[in-house]
């Protein structure tokens, strides 16, 4: 009986790919970025992105975004009216276009001038 229940669970509850976590870190003082995706846990994605940010020159990385969801990711960076960097990330989105639009929109909402916004990175986490 236990074998039957086990087999039923395998067919009813398919196993999801566990490599679906993404994270983005940024150091405003050094304009250093760290991005990770497709790792076994959200913590590993965050740790990897943090380390990458430090390796890219960051001293005080701040977590910009983190998710357990698969999907498309985009990081947008712009400048506010005073010339300060503004960063936004859309991760775990259903389409590349939506992630791009969302990251740009969020960057503008945080104070970046529309014409200054550029896409720094994009990826698909399958």
pLDDT tens-digit series, residues 5-25:
433 333 333 334 445 699 999
Q: Is the pTM of this model over 0.85?
A: no
Q: Report the chain's mean pLDDT, rounded to a whole number.
A: 87
Q: Give Rg (Cα) of the chain.
A: 18
Q: Are 120 and 104 in contact (CB under 8 A)?
A: no
% pLDDT > 90, the chain: 79
């Amino acid at each position: 009986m236990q074998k039957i229940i086990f087999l039923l669970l395998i067919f009813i509850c398919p196993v999801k790919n566990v490599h679906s976590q993404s994270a983005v870190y940024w150091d405003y003082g050094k304009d250093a970025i760290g991005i990770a995706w497709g790792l076994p846990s959200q913590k590993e994605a965050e740790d990897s992105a943090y380390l990458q940010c430090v390796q890219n020159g960051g001293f005080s990385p701040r977590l910009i975004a983190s998710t357990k969801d698969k999907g498309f990711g985009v990081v947008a960076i712009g400048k506010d009216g005073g010339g300060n960097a503004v960063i936004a990330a859309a991760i775990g989105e259903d389409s590349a276009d939506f992630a791009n639009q969302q990251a740009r929109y969020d960057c503008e909402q945080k104070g970046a001038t529309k014409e200054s916004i550029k896409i720094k990175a994009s990826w698909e986490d399958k």
